[in-house]
């Protein structure tokens, strides 16, 4: 396993992050325990979850599963960097309006943390993330709440998720005003097929020394060899099938490239992401032991510059670097593609 600093912090995390969203709804508790044990054996020390995972309102089923796994002892808690999130509707007791609906009030953040700690059966959260931006809560209020948790030893670092580039700047500058460390990470959707964050989010994270933790690096299975699976008689769900039909020529070029390259599409998609120095740890969400083990193959795949250029032609991203100088400001590199 390879390790890297979590952004500008001195905390070392594995290059792959174990996503736990399937734990409960799709993966049994027994199998979830086995996957977490296997992840440790493979050297994965970065686990990501959220209070809302499990999708049964207010109960935090996935966090409960992780908590029972941690409660087995054996140094499990000390061996992992544990990340969870706050923002979504977690009203369990009727009338508890502070946890009803979505938001990031200071009260909700502090109560949300207490709930996660109880479910996770731990005293602290290594990386406590805002699951989404909340436009009705002022950043100063939010940082006051997180600062209290940090001083109480209940949270170590604070991260964001699904923030725009200007939100990252806004929140880090607010943290500076409040003498807080600020955001150390951003969790965004990113894959070969979804590259919007290259415009502003990735440059903002680089500027502030933040880790980037991509979710859905295989685009919900879209980049995982769907045409090959269809040929083997495995049909995608309706939504994915519509996208396959719409982008079939591109998928054919993608899977042909991977076949000639000699690696499985899922492994190449992860390897492409790991070649980007802005990326810290893509989140993998295995449902089986084999899926977890095979994810590590991406760490050994080396892509040459011609390989990367070929992938850019198949999956073009936002406007990138240019050698045309200032002659054509529309072709300038992100994040200043439109600045002139």
Structure tokens at 55: 């999708």
What share of residues in the chain are helix, strand, coil (percent, to 5)? 45, 15, 40
Instruction: Note the Cα 203 to chain centre separation in Å.
Output: 17
Query: How far apart (Å, rounded) are the C-alpha atoms in residues 153 and 124?
Result: 6
Instruction: At 323, give phi and psi (nearest 5°).
Output: -105, 15
Reported as type and span, the H/E element at residue 308 is helix 305-314
Exposure of 115 in the CB half-sphere (CA atoms within 13 A) = 26
To the query of whether residue 171 is one of the catalytic residues in this protein, the response is no
CA distances from 164 to 109, 133, 170, 203, 283 (A): 21, 9, 10, 11, 19
The DSSP symbol for 27 reads B
How are beta strands 283-284 and 17-19 bridged, if at all? parallel
Reported as type and span, the H/E element at residue 187 is strand 183-187
The SS3 of residue 94 is coil
The SS3 of residue 281 is coil
Structure tokens at 235: 């049909």
Contact yes or no for 215/19 (Cβ under 8 A): yes
Instruction: At 14, give phi and psi (nearest 5°).
Output: -70, 150
Structure tokens at 148: 């209290």
Which residues, at least 6 apart from 144, have a Cβ–Cβ distance to it below 8 Å?
106, 178
Instruction: Please identify which of the residues 53, 87, 128, 208 carries the catalytic annotation.
Output: 53
215-217-220 Cα angle (round to 5): 90
Active site amino acids: 53
């Amino acid at each position: 396993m390879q390790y890297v600093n979590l952004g500008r912090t001195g905390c070392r995390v594995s290059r792959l992050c174990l996503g736990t969203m399937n734990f409960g709804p799709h993966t049994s508790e027994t199998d979830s325990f086995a996957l977490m044990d296997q992840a440790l054996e493979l050297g994965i020390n970065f686990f990501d979850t959220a209070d809302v995972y499990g999708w049964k309102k207010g109960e935090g089923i996935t966090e409960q599963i992780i908590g029972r796994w941690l409660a087995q002892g054996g140094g499990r808690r000390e061996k992992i960097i544990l990340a969870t999130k706050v923002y979504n509707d977690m009203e369990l007791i009727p009338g508890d309006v502070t946890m009803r609906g979505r938001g990031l009030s200071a009260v909700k953040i502090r109560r949300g943390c207490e709930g996660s700690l109880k479910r996770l059966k731990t005293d602290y959260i290594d990386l406590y993330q805002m699951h989404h931006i909340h436009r009705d809560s002022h950043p100063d209020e939010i940082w006051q709440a997180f600062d209290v948790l940090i001083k109480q030893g209940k949270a170590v670092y604070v991260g964001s998720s699904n923030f725009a580039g200007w939100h990252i700047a806004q929140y880090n500058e607010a943290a500076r005003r409040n003498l807080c460390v600020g955001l150390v990470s951003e969790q965004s959707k990113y894959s070969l097929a979804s590259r919007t964050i290259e415009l502003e989010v990735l440059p903002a994270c680089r500027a502030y020394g933040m880790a980037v933790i991509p979710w859905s690096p295989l685009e919900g299975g879209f980049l995982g060899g769907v045409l090959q699976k269809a040929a083997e008689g495995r049909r995608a769900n309706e939504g994915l099938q519509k996208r396959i039909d719409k982008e079939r020529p591109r998928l054919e070029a993608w899977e042909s490239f991977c076949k000639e390259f000699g690696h499985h599409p899922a492994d190449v998609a992860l390897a492409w992401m790991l070649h980007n120095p802005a990326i810290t740890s893509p989140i993998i969400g295995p449902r089986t032991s084999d899926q977890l083990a095979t994810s590590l193959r991406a760490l050994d795949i080396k892509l040459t510059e011609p390989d990367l250029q070929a992938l850019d032609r198949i999956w073009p991203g936002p406007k990138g670097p240019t050698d045309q100088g200032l002659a054509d400001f529309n072709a300038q590199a992100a994040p200043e593609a439109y600045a002139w």
